[in-house]
Amino acid sequence: MPSKKALATLSPEEIDERFMIEAIRLAEENLKTNEGGPVGAVIVLDGKIIGKSANESFLTSDPTAHAEMQAIRKACRKLKTLDLSGTIIYTNCEPCPMCLGAIYWAKIEKIYYAASKEDTYAIGFDDKVIFWEFNKPDDKKEIPRVQIIKAKALPALQKWKEIGESRINAFEAGSRRAKV
């Protein structure tokens, strides 16, 4: 990646392309190492990469170790925050439902992707099954969902409602991001 000074001479489109090329490079490199699938992701804040990763599912024996998830984890650890507001994610493939959920939870503000969901379906990724599942009623889903002993679970949620915001604020106050 070029320096921040060099980036200043590029158009916004050229900058976006440079970050996407880095995501693609990570994906291509991953095919050589066989550490996971052909996906790379880069998270950028103020023109600087703060988290990047390729898919590490094979390396970690973790089906959630997608490139976007790993890049989010690295960016959050680097900034010591859960809130990635103001960041952009570049990924060579349109995010799957899990990664998309994490992107929303992390409050990433923009997603750039190269290959579409349809492109990934064409090589055998089965994300469309998950997208379809979201739209089915609970009694029609492939994996049964059964709610039990709700009353026993509610006290912890109520306690979080009472103390959660103060804990999040204390965590954020200690982050590097809060000091920026």
Catalytic residues: 68
Q: For the packed helices 97-106 and 67-79, what is the interaxial angle rounded to 10 degrees?
A: 20
Running DSSP on this structure, what letter comes out for residue 143?
S
> Burial level of 24, CB count in 10 A (0-12/13-18/19+)?
buried
CA dist 146 to 104, 109, 110, 131, 141, Å? 26, 34, 35, 20, 11
Please, are residues 84 and 72 in contact by the beta-carbon 8 Å criterion? yes
CA-based nearest residue to 53, from 4, 36, 87 = 36
Instruction: Count CB-CB contacts under 10 A for residue 55.
Output: 24
